[in-house]
Chains A and B, each alone.
Chain A
Amino acid sequence: MPANPSVSRRTALKSLAAAGLATGLLSACGDDSSSSSSGGGSATGPITFGSNYSDAAPKAAFAALTQQAAGSTSVQVTVNTTDHNTFQNNINSYLQGTPDSLATWFAGYRLQFFAAQGLLSPIDDVWNKIGGTFNDAAKSLSKGLDGHYYLVPLYNYPWVVFYNKSVFKAKGYEVPTSWDQFVALAKRMQADGLVPLAFADKDGWPALGTFDIINLRVNGYDYHIKLMKHEVPWTDPGVAAVFNQWRELAPYQQKGANGRIWQDAAKALENKQAGLMFQGSNQVAANYAASNLPDLDFFVFPTINTSFGTDYMDAPTDGFILPKKGKNQDAAKKILEYIGTGAAETEFLKTDHWDVGLANGLIAPTYNDIQKKSVAEIAKCKNVSQFMDRDTVPDMANAMIKLIQQFIDSPTAETIASIQKSAEAQAKTIFTS
């Protein structure tokens, strides 16, 4: 049995590597308080760009963007791409270690959280030049809690209800505008043998979007943001109202969602086994085959509470940050100034058919119908939220992922009560101390 000793040796090596990693993490702590002087440097010096655009399509789009940026600023740019999950999980040690001069990141609370800990450089001087490109909503998303700018946004995308035009035409369905019409449509689809709402939550985060939109429709934007910041307790009746509303929809959502990845749910919509799917265009449209894309269309989540109408939605914004410990900050700022223009966004969107640029009034020549409609619908919103895992502390989003999976398992009144209790108990330890 020669294989046996080699197996145990391999296991031994593995655990040794793990131990080494653990000490690496631990020893990364002591030596970081006073080295923030690495800013400045050469104004044209080469810079590195940390990217989490690891999928093929966005990676190519990003390469085109950085090439343009390098060409027009004569700053040499090297892109270091990391798998996006890994990138996000390591962001803390990345920013404290030897980060790149620039990095990809997200807007909103998820930005403020790291800015408040002094890990990012403010870029107000960049915004003095690019301020005219963006509207007030984009501006406030790019600011830290201290009022300084920390992000240059690139694109966003809407969370809306997707459907196939051909299915609606063949069955004579109408786009619903009220909750009652929405539920009636779902019921009709079920009778027609379709899965009314394709749904998946094995990845954890997709169902957070459903919570967000129902909360925005039932309680409005201000309430939602207060809840995300734990200024409203999770035991509030407003939260119960959201889950109770969701209960009416639960029978029409695809069964077994907790074991399904969202790509499989999107496939059910694309194969016309499902009638509708509520998710981001960055996922559904990006997952569609190019030949099926013209058949795809969407409508915004229907009105529930008429005092809020369809004024709000989740439209997550992605952009770029300047890590405090990055090298050649002056050169990096030049790149940021270039990226904060409509021309740069147009360049990026040449190969991206699901996101939309954030520059004022930008309609890139390569936009398809989905993108044109996205721009219009986002512009109609009085406010856009970012998504639960960007609007609240990541720990709280993780807690809600599990609690919402529990709700998906058994959408009952008892579950709702226990979810609210547990969410509040965890929020207390996460937000206060």
Chain B
Amino acid sequence: MALITTEPLAPPAAQAPRRRRRLRTLTRRDKFVAAAMLGVPLLLDLAFIWFPALASVLLSFTKWTGVGPIKLQSCAELPSAPGIPQPGCLYGVQNYHQAFTNYPDFWPAVEHNAIWLAVFIVFATPLGMLFAVILDRGIRGSRVYQSLLFLPVMLSLALIGIIWELIYSPDFGLINTIIGRNHNDNLIDWLGNPHLNLWALLVEASWRQAPYVMVLYLAGLKAVDPTLREAAVVDGASGWQTFWRVVFPTMRPINIVVLVVTVIESLRAFDLVYITSNGNPLRGLELLSVAVTQNIVGETQRIGFGSTLGVVLLVISLVPISIFLYQAFRREEQR
């Protein structure tokens, strides 16, 4: 990172004409290689990203249980027996209407996704940054702390969910046993109580997210030119000022990566809830991603409705992604 900022700007401009001349003299083989190297990723991109995304959008306007083909006919025109699903049919915006008005999980899910994001930004990420700054000062045993803190990142989220289930279990769990709240008249229901369980899960998620951010920042801090810090000290800046006015701004690329990681991780939040509630989310743990899975995967598939929720999640995800891409491209243009 430091290399890029100190690189002089003149040479690339001088090289530009030469590079253009080389372009004109591409052999047929070069062209083939270039086409293949562009074409294969493009095809993969189309097949695995654009096609499913577009298919989801289209499916969100249908009602379909996954059995048989989808008829290009309105559902209202087809016969229906109560309790037995109709064949696939066109459903208009009914799915969206149901999601926004009638589906009890929808608004809690949006709210919980937002809380998840807020906790990550306000708590988990700053905590990771704090770990990184402390470890970067080279305290004794820094490597031991680093390994210990990094351990949760190496575990899969499913495993983390199972580990914490043992900690939170009402009768035999670690916490309730230690604080003596495991009797029928006084027990704390960490995972079942809808006012507690989201926060209990956010502790699990932060347990993993903070060290993840820590690692990213440690790399960033190592890359900061030490002379900047020395200069700041010579100028009489305090430790606080040095960090916020000098070190933090020079880590801008890392900051953006961390921000994007934080947003993505909180929109992707799924595994912990899925493991904790065995698929059917417990009250208080509704998330959009879980709602999508619950409708699409299962004994009866409501693929149209699940796709609708997927499209909503896609639209929400597009906001931070667009901001990030806009920033990234603008920076490149400036260069």
Residues of A within 8 A of B (CB): 1, 3-4, 7, 16, 19-20, 22-23, 25-26, 28-30, 32-33, 85, 88-93, 96, 109-110, 113, 116-119, 145, 195, 201-204, 229-231, 254-260, 264, 267-268, 392-395, 398-399, 401-402, 405-406, 409, 422, 425-426, 429, 431-433
A1 touches B298 (CB 8 A): no
B66 at the interface (CB under 8 A from A): yes
A-B contacts, 9 listed (Cβ < 8 Å): A4-B219, A23-B47, A88-B299, A92-B299, A117-B85, A258-B282, A402-B104, A405-B282, A409-B283
B48 touches A89 (CB 8 A): no
B68 at the interface (CB under 8 A from A): yes
Write the nearest CB–CB distance from B49 to chain A, whole angstroms. Answer: 7
B300 touches A113 (CB 8 A): yes
B83 touches A393 (CB 8 A): yes
B67 touches A259 (CB 8 A): no
Residues of B within 8 A of A (CB): 47-49, 51-52, 55, 59, 63, 65-70, 75-76, 80-86, 98, 102, 104-105, 150, 153-154, 168-172, 184-185, 187-194, 197, 212, 215-216, 218-219, 277-283, 294, 296-302
- Return the chain A residue nearest B75 by Cβ: A433
Query: What 4 A-B pairs come out closest when comparing CB atoms?
Result: A259-B192, A258-B192, A256-B189, A259-B191
Bound-complex Cα distance A203 to B69 (A): 34
Q: Given A90, A258, A393, A398, which contacts B193 in the complex, CB threshold below 8 Å? A: A258
Given A1-B219, A257-B192, the answer on whether A19 and B184 have CB atoms closer than 8 Å is no
B52 touches A23 (CB 8 A): yes
Q: Given A93, A230, A402, which contacts B83 in the complex, CB threshold below 8 Å? A: A230
Bound-complex Cα distance A47 to B76 (A): 42
Besides the known contacts A20-B48, A117-B85, A195-B184, 6 further A-B residue pairs in the complex with CB atoms under 8 A apart: A258-B193, A259-B191, A394-B300, A402-B105, A406-B283, A409-B193
Bound-complex Cα distance A364 to B127 (A): 63
Given A1-B218, A255-B184, A260-B170, the answer on whether A89 and B299 have CB atoms closer than 8 Å is yes
- Return the chain A residue nearest B278 by Cβ: A203
Write the nearest CB–CB distance from B332 to chain A, whole angstroms. Answer: 21
Please indicate which of the listed interface residues A29, A117, A118, A398 has the most CB atoms of chain B within 10 Å of its own CB: A29
Given A92-B299, A116-B84, A433-B86, the answer on whether A85 and B278 have CB atoms closer than 8 Å is yes
Residues from chain B with a CB closer than 8 A to the CB of A422 are 104
Bound-complex Cα distance A405 to B194 (A): 10
Residues from chain B with a CB closer than 8 A to the CB of A399 are 104
Residues from chain B with a CB closer than 8 A to the CB of A28 are 66
Residues from chain A with a CB closer than 8 A to the CB of B298 are 89, 394, 398
**Chain A: interface secondary structure?**
helix
Residues from chain A with a CB closer than 8 A to the CB of B216 are 4
Bound-complex Cα distance A190 to B69 (A): 58
A7 touches B153 (CB 8 A): yes
Q: Given B150, B153, B185, B296, which contacts A25 in the complex, CB threshold below 8 Å? A: B296
Bound-complex Cα distance A231 to B83 (A): 10
Write the nearest CB–CB distance from B223 to chain A, whole angstroms. Answer: 11
Write the nearest CB–CB distance from A86 to chain B, whole angstroms. Answer: 10
Write the nearest CB–CB distance from B42 to chain A, whole angstroms. Answer: 16
Write the nearest CB–CB distance from B197 to chain A, whole angstroms. Answer: 7
Residues from chain A with a CB closer than 8 A to the CB of B188 are 256
Residues from chain B with a CB closer than 8 A to the CB of A202 are 191-192, 277-278, 282
A93 touches B300 (CB 8 A): no
Q: Given A20, A259, A267, which contacts B189 in the complex, CB threshold below 8 Å? A: A259
Bound-complex Cα distance A109 to B192 (A): 30
B102 touches A429 (CB 8 A): yes
- Return the chain B residue nearest A258 by Cβ: B192
Q: Given B48, B104, B280, which contacts A19 in the complex, CB threshold below 8 Å? A: B48
Bound-complex Cα distance A149 to B195 (A): 48
Given A89-B297, A117-B85, A409-B283, the answer on whether A22 and B215 have CB atoms closer than 8 Å is no
Bound-complex Cα distance A183 to B63 (A): 47
Write the nearest CB–CB distance from A196 to chain B, whole angstroms. Answer: 9
Residues from chain A with a CB closer than 8 A to the CB of B75 are 433
Residues from chain A with a CB closer than 8 A to the CB of B190 are 259
Residues from chain A with a CB closer than 8 A to the CB of B189 are 255-256, 258-260
A19 touches B300 (CB 8 A): no
Write the nearest CB–CB distance from A2 to chain B, whole angstroms. Answer: 11
Bound-complex Cα distance A170 to B194 (A): 39
Bound-complex Cα distance A231 to B277 (A): 31
- Return the chain A residue nearest B298 by Cβ: A89
Q: Given A7, A195, A230, A260, which contacts B82 in the complex, CB threshold below 8 Å? A: A230
B170 touches A259 (CB 8 A): yes
Residues from chain A with a CB closer than 8 A to the CB of B219 are 1, 4
Residues from chain A with a CB closer than 8 A to the CB of B98 are 429
Bound-complex Cα distance A316 to B114 (A): 41
Residues from chain A with a CB closer than 8 A to the CB of B104 are 399, 402, 422, 426
A395 touches B52 (CB 8 A): no
Write the nearest CB–CB distance from A234 to chain B, whole angstroms. Answer: 13
Residues from chain B with a CB closer than 8 A to the CB of A110 are 299
Residues from chain A with a CB closer than 8 A to the CB of B218 are 1
Given A85-B278, A89-B297, A432-B82, the answer on whether A395 and B185 have CB atoms closer than 8 Å is no
Write the nearest CB–CB distance from A365 to chain B, whole angstroms. Answer: 36
Given A268-B171, A433-B75, the answer on whether A85 and B300 have CB atoms closer than 8 Å is no
Please indicate which of the listed interface residues A145, A231, A406, A429 has the most CB atoms of chain B within 10 Å of its own CB: A429
Q: Given A22, A258, A264, which contacts B52 in the complex, CB threshold below 8 Å? A: A22
Residues from chain B with a CB closer than 8 A to the CB of A33 are 68-69
Write the nearest CB–CB distance from B254 to chain A, whole angstroms. Answer: 12
B67 touches A119 (CB 8 A): yes
A264 touches B300 (CB 8 A): no
Q: Given B47, B168, B215, B296, which contacts A259 in the complex, CB threshold below 8 Å? A: B168
Bound-complex Cα distance A398 to B98 (A): 17
Write the nearest CB–CB distance from B255 to chain A, whole angstroms. Answer: 16
- Return the chain A residue nearest B189 by Cβ: A256
Write the nearest CB–CB distance from A4 to chain B, whole angstroms. Answer: 5
Bound-complex Cα distance A84 to B123 (A): 39
Residues from chain B with a CB closer than 8 A to the CB of A395 are 300, 302
Q: Given A29, A117, A256, which contacts B69 in the complex, CB threshold below 8 Å? A: A29
Residues from chain B with a CB closer than 8 A to the CB of A425 are 102
Bound-complex Cα distance A96 to B88 (A): 15
B82 touches A431 (CB 8 A): yes
Please indicate which of the listed interface residues A85, A229, A433 has the most CB atoms of chain B within 10 Å of its own CB: A433
Please indicate which of the listed interface residues A1, A85, A201, A256 has the most CB atoms of chain B within 10 Å of its own CB: A256
